[in-house]
Chains A and B, each alone.
Chain A
Amino acid sequence: MNAPVTVTPRKPKDYASDQDIRWCPGCGNYAILKAVQKTLADITADPSQTVFVSGIGCSSRFPYYLNTYGFHTIHGRAPAIATGVKLANPALDVWVITGDGDGLSIGGNHLTHTLRRNVDVQILLFNNAIYGLTKGQSSPTSKLGTKSPSTPHGSVETPTNAACLALGAGARFVARAVEAQTPRLGQVLARARDHRGTSLVEILQNCIIYNDRAFAELTDKAQLADQQLLLEHGQPLRFGHNLSRGLRLNPQTLSLETVTLGEHGFSPEDVLCHDETNPTLAYMLARLEQPIALGVLYCAPAPTYRAGATPDDSATRPSAAVINQLLRMGSNWVS
């Protein structure tokens, strides 16, 4: 059903489509869908001006479950199609839904080029570190040694770090969130939506069937405090129980190191503050494995991509007279 929207939607459920959701029970995608619907509701998004474009994979079924415009495309190509949508109608709010296989493997090329062009779209990369829809093969983000049908003796490839890749590609907005932490995910999505230019949000997501507990350190309450670093612009990079630990820049090694406040003479003044406009810091934070940095790693707006027939993008439709004039360019003669 595609009933016309007659009231301004304000509730998350107002953004749901009539389609039955076909994800596995317990899949992390449910939480992401909810967070996106809430984000849309919070900004009272107009469904007719909102487009979700996805590739292939479990995550990419996402557009079918929203009542906005949706285009479920082909494997890895969603950023390219979204670029075309945005070029043709810059007024549309365009979201790309992709996964670690779709976005970082088969579609890696489009992801990096969309980021460097800074097309004004939000890219939500659902990272569950496994191929779900093809039944559990290791993916570009699978941890070294992941046993899967395609890697029965354990994967031997170094995993991709999506945030580092995005920063290297020239992204101007890079964030990371965990699906299970819905409120924080919502905050990050709102920031991504506000950002003009490509915003990449890596969402760490649990695949209950093929890679359960892949991000257990971020979902187990007991471990959480020591394992996650919640980023806030301008706030000290502190974590752990009672925020007793922090990150300082070791000037000798030019790297971040964890210090415990009160030990070895380290005080709160030694701890770095987060500056989301600093690309070097963003890169160092993106690389951290313990703790894992969550939140907006980098946000430094730059001019967005506007392809155009003219440099100022003032492509206007030609009149017959103009086309006739162009057809007569060069040398002509009358017989």
Chain B
Amino acid sequence: MLLRETLDSVVVRFAGDSGDGMQLTGSQFAQTTALAANDLATFPDFPAEIRAPTGTAYGVSAFQINFGSCNVSTAGDAPDVLVVLNPAALKVNLPMLREGGQLIIDSGSFTPKNLARAGYTTNPLEDGTLDDYLVLTIDISAQTLGVARPLGLGHKDALRCKNMWVLGLVYWIYDRDPQLTLRWLQKKFHDHPQIAQANIAALQAGHAYAETAELGLMGYTVPAQPQSTGLHGLIGGNKALALGLATGAYLANLPLHFCSYPITPASGLLHDLAATPELGVTTFQAEDEIAAICAALGASYAGSLGVTASSGPGMALKTEALGLAIATELPLVVVNIQRGGPSTGLPTKTEQSDLYQAIWGRNGDAPLPVLAVSSPADGFYCAIEAVRLATKYMTPVIVLSDGYIAHASEPWLVPDVDELQAFPVKFRSDPHGYQPFARDTATLARDWVPAGTQGLEHRIGGIERDALSGAISYEPRNHQRMSDLRAAKINGIAADIPLQTVDGPSSGDVVVIGWGSTYGAINRAVTNLRAQGWDISHIHLRHLWPLPRNLGSLLTHFEQILVPEMNQSQLTRLLRSEYLLPVTPLNKVAGQPFKISEIEQALCRMLEGAEN
């Protein structure tokens, strides 16, 4: 009987050609692993090209997953196991594999032609390149063909089952139940029973191949993680935002109009909402980014919740309409799934370099609230908070997510909508004494009067308007007053958002401040160093503008402040200018998320400096 070694956590990376189905393989493994009650974090890493020439380095697609019985906060710094389905995947991904890590390689794909396409002049399976790793070579191509061809598939279609063959093998290694994937295959290929059968056969063959253990293959067990009690599920970043927006609209008692233009990596929101009519969201694919935000704003003007989503270049195009939303004081939620910039930049890679664009990036003094999502599941709650602020304060709100969160998924405690605080919107319908720009004394928000309301006809627009009647006004004092009011309204939101909390001691030598998707890496780095006896605190911001009202005083209780972010010091500069405090940046703009070790090293340098 096989004895399985028990592991706390493992990082596995599946890599192959864009056409090899690595994303499907990875997401199946993630779902199966979630069902096994492991904590996990995933990182799909794929090229912008849909199908780059087969076998080339720029066509390599990978999916990394970190799973364990402990708290998993990132997709892992370096894979323990690298599954490689062609030479190009080896070439691109080998540098990431940890020292002495395990390689599982489809030797059948290492043909002279594929080696040449990948840029290898000698065969790395034979030339000593892999001497420092544990290497398992199997002719997965031949094994898959042997299973799938007899079922009537042609050579090409049969070979496409090799991702399932290797998934079967990996399922065995980590003692995972393949049932979920078997059911998924049956459903996915319901109309193509032959393909379903071949994929199922390949999965089972890979599993059986490992089980026969003639290779002396080691099996592992990664025990279930003790989780908070309740119903859990696996949630992706874009999906969580989509569900959060719909839930926010429900809590506001509003219909939702989602108007968007396709852009990577934000399109998933449009897809999810369009594919889920039960959510009652009206989706509109506009002719461009500008029309998308304009249609959303038009919907808000008519009494709906207008929402648009995009990424950096699209956000740039939406800028003028954002100004109009600020000027006319209509609610709007704008989601920015950030990617590498500037310009087209790195469409499928992650970055946090749109913070300044979100907070300051408009003509005129044009303030609006900015929130940031810190993990896939957090998107759900951020979206709800954005809807709350937009409708309560009659303002556009920007929600920043990023490419890493968009495509990542994590287990979450499934929320119960009935337990969430509702914030139903009250439209004004009383014509008595109505002035379009009269304000609530507490929130400074004007009344929301949807076009179509009897007896409250009025005109709004982008030209500066009288602080009460809304009529065009170029009067100097009025513009001063309106500018002050716009600023005061947004600044006042600081009183309506939670006080900033600190993870760790509320004073000490070092505090790390982060925002957005760096949460996992910072959290793990801080936890690791604390285990070594260091006192380090972690502050993670959800509200980027206005900043939490206690943040400035919190920061004064620390000797040193480290700000890791995937840009060139945007939050760093914001904190310096707001609080006049010395802040040390830790910047990474490689299109890849921070590694835990990178943050640990920066913290160690700081701590050592403090000791000397």
Residues of A bordering B, CB below 8 Å: 1-5, 17, 19, 47-49, 51, 53, 56, 63-64, 67-74, 77, 80-89, 91-92, 109-110, 112-113, 307-310, 315-318, 320, 322-328, 330-335
Contact = CB atoms under 8 A, between A and B. Distances in A.
Given A310-B277, A320-B418, A332-B231, A47 B457 contact: yes
B280 A89 contact: no
A332 B282 contact: no
A2 to B, nearest CB: 5
B255 A317 contact: yes
Interface string B305-341: 0100000000000001101100010000000000000
Contact of A88 (B298, B323, B455): B298
A326 B456 contact: no
Contact of A77 (B246, B321, B415, B456): B321
A323 B452 contact: no
B128 to A, nearest CB: 43
Given A71-B461, A88-B298, A307 B284 contact: yes
Interface residues of B, number: 81
B451 A69 contact: yes
A85 B280 contact: no
A88 B459 contact: no
B153 interface: no
A46 to B, nearest CB: 8
Most buried by B among A72, A84, A89, A320: A84
Given A88-B304, A318-B246, A334 B459 contact: no
B42 to A, nearest CB: 14
Given A63-B461, A335-B37, 12 more contacts: A19-B471, A47-B457, A68-B457, A71-B328, A77-B294, A84-B306, A86-B302, A89-B302, A307-B282, A315-B280, A328-B414, A330-B31
Contacts of B234: 330-331
Interface of B: 31, 34-35, 37, 180, 226-234, 243, 246-247, 250, 255, 257, 259, 273-274, 276-284, 286-288, 290-292, 294-304, 306, 320-321, 323-324, 328, 414-418, 431, 434-436, 450-463, 469, 471-472
B459 A17 contact: yes
Contacts of B290: 77, 80, 110
A19 B458 CA distance: 11
A321 B469 CA distance: 43
B332 to A, nearest CB: 10
Given A63-B461, A73-B324, A109-B287, A81 B297 contact: yes
21 contacts: A1-B469, A2-B457, A3-B431, A51-B451, A63-B461, A67-B457, A77-B294, A80-B292, A84-B300, A87-B284, A88-B450, A110-B288, A315-B277, A316-B280, A318-B280, A322-B279, A323-B243, A324-B417, A331-B31, A332-B231, A335-B226
A330 B276 CA distance: 13
B231 A328 contact: yes
B302 A88 contact: yes
B451 A309 contact: no
B363 to A, nearest CB: 11
A86 B298 CA distance: 8
Nearest to B461: A72
Given A53-B298, A72-B463, A74-B462, A88 B457 contact: no
Nearest to B291: A80
Contacts of A91: 452
A48 to B, nearest CB: 5
Given A72-B462, A330-B233, A92 B302 contact: yes
Contacts of A326: 243, 246, 276, 278-279
Contact of B286 (A80, A86, A112, A318): A80
A2 B320 contact: no
B295 A324 contact: no
Nearest to B434: A2
A85 B228 CA distance: 45
Contacts of A89: 302-304, 450-452
A124 to B, nearest CB: 17
Given A17-B459, A47-B457, A331-B34, A85 B299 contact: yes
Contacts of B416: 324
Contacts of A308: 282
B283 A307 contact: yes
A63 B282 CA distance: 28
A3 B324 CA distance: 25
Contacts of B457: 2, 5, 47-48, 67-69
Q: Closest 10 interchain pairs by CB? A: A84-B298, A72-B461, A84-B295, A4-B455, A80-B294, A88-B302, A70-B459, A80-B291, A113-B287, A335-B227
B472 A64 contact: yes
A323 B303 contact: no
Contacts of B274: 309
A279 to B, nearest CB: 22
A318 B431 CA distance: 31
B456 A2 contact: yes
A4 B456 contact: yes
Contacts of B306: 84, 88
Contacts of A56: 462
Given A109-B288, A110-B291, A331 B233 contact: yes
A309 B283 contact: yes
B295 to A, nearest CB: 4
A308 B288 CA distance: 19
Given A84-B295, A316-B280, A323-B250, A335 B229 contact: yes
B297 A333 contact: no
Nearest to A305: B284
B302 A324 contact: no
